[in-house]
Amino acid sequence: MARGNGGVIGVNNDPITELITRFTGPGTFTSRPSTGNVGVFVAAGGGGGGSTGVNKAGGGGGGGFILVPALSVGGGTPIPVSIGGGGAGSSTGSDTTFGSAPNPYYLIAKGGGAGGNTPSGPGAPGGSGGGGGGPGPSVGPGGSATQPSQPGNSGTYGSGNVGAGPTSGPGNIGGNGGGGAGAAGTSTGPGGGNYAGGNGGSGADVRPVFGPSQPWYITQNSQDGFFCGGGGGGPQTAYPPTARGDGGKGGGTPHSPFVANPSFPEYNNFSGPVANSGGGGGGGQSGGRTGGPGQVAVIEPGSASGVWSLKSQFSARKSGTWPT
């Protein structure tokens, strides 16, 4: 029998603190036995930027984005997690999964669509669609977004948007932005001077479920809490390098650097701080940038169930850590 609990007879329970489990590779999530519902974030791999060796390719679409505030998982049930890779240049990202069908907690985030190749290649469909390639004889449309139409919670809580297609005819000669989880990509067009690449669409925000700050948020350029942004489109070959399409907030990367020589230049897949963002790769000349790999994060809420000692309750209240 506990003696330090203010006179209540019973066992002193420790407070159950909030717990976040994050996966950047495969694994098994097993909740605490007392957990009923969890918050889950699933990001697929972003699509790669388009290219066939000529500039003005479309940006890759962001990976499909799922944010479920309360998913019933059954305490202690092991749930497999698999993480999709980003798409290489001109290729679609891979899917990320939480659980397996037909379990009710199964979630699948669809890989982002590849950016359209030049000439005028269409952006590929994906979680968010890739941006259309810059014009040649015709106009490359943006890819469709497949995440919202996924069955069950994957679609209900899923986000993805279309990649951009040119808006004002074949004279537009930049590549278009890939779609992001929070917004569609931007077309090359008057806003960018017709010749610039379109911007990638913004990603979506996990902070409503995971709170204002986590060590795994992308901190550069005020991207805190945003993931699965679209990649920027490439400008036409002769346009100044400042005319690139910017990556969408949430890990979308800008187009590959401007290089005047159309033969395949040496360049890298560098994604720097956007690893595991699910962001789309920028369209480019040297194969297009690679999309970011996906991830999964799960949050188990804390609680104040059980019997607390007055002392620990007082301390928790005073420090602002009393579970809700």
Partner 1 sequence: MAHFAKIDENNIVVDVRVINNSDVEANGGEKSTQAEQWVSDNFGGGTWKQGSYHTKHGKYYDPSTGELDSDQTKAYRMNYPGIGCHYISSLDGFTAGPKPYDSWTVKQDTCTWEPPVAFPTITTTGITLQSPAGVSYEQPYIYNWDEANQRWIAQTFTKDNVLENNYIWNSTTLQWEVDNG
Task: Return residues touching partner 1 (CB under 8 A).
Answer: 24-27, 45, 48, 51-54, 56, 82-94, 111, 114, 117-120, 134-137, 168-173, 190, 192-196, 236-240, 243, 260-264, 266-270, 272, 286-288, 290, 293-294
Q: How far is the CB of 253 from partner 1 (least distance, A)?
A: 11
Question: Which of residues 31 and 97 has its CB atom nearest to partner 1 in the complex?
Answer: 97
Contact 207, 186 (CB under 8 A): no
Question: Which of residues 191 and 306 has its CB atom nearest to partner 1 in the complex?
Answer: 191
Q: In a 3-state reduction of DSSP, which class is residue 152?
A: coil
CA distances from 43 to 127, 137, 162 (A): 9, 36, 17
Q: How far is the CB of 58 from partner 1 (least distance, A)?
A: 13
Q: How far is the CB of 189 from partner 1 (least distance, A)?
A: 10
Q: How far is the CB of 206 from partner 1 (least distance, A)?
A: 19
Q: How far is the CB of 161 from partner 1 (least distance, A)?
A: 21
Beta bridge partners of 109: 96
Neighbours of 104 (CB within 10 A): 12
Give the single-character DSSP code of 310: H
Kindly provide the residue ranges of all beta strands, DSSP E only, lying in 134-271, ordered along the sequence. Answer: 158-159, 204-205, 226-227
Q: How far is the CB of 299 from partner 1 (least distance, A)?
A: 21
Cα–Cα distance measured from residue 144 to residue 136, given in angstroms and rounded to the nearest whole number: 21
Question: Which of residues 272 and 323 has its CB atom nearest to partner 1 in the complex?
Answer: 272
Cα–Cα distance measured from residue 285 to residue 20, given in angstroms and rounded to the nearest whole number: 40
Question: Which of residues 70 and 260 has its CB atom nearest to partner 1 in the complex?
Answer: 260
Question: Which of residues 52 and 312 has its CB atom nearest to partner 1 in the complex?
Answer: 52
Beta bridge partners of 299: 20, 39
Neighbours of 248 (CB within 10 A): 39
Question: Which of residues 159 and 194 has its CB atom nearest to partner 1 in the complex?
Answer: 194
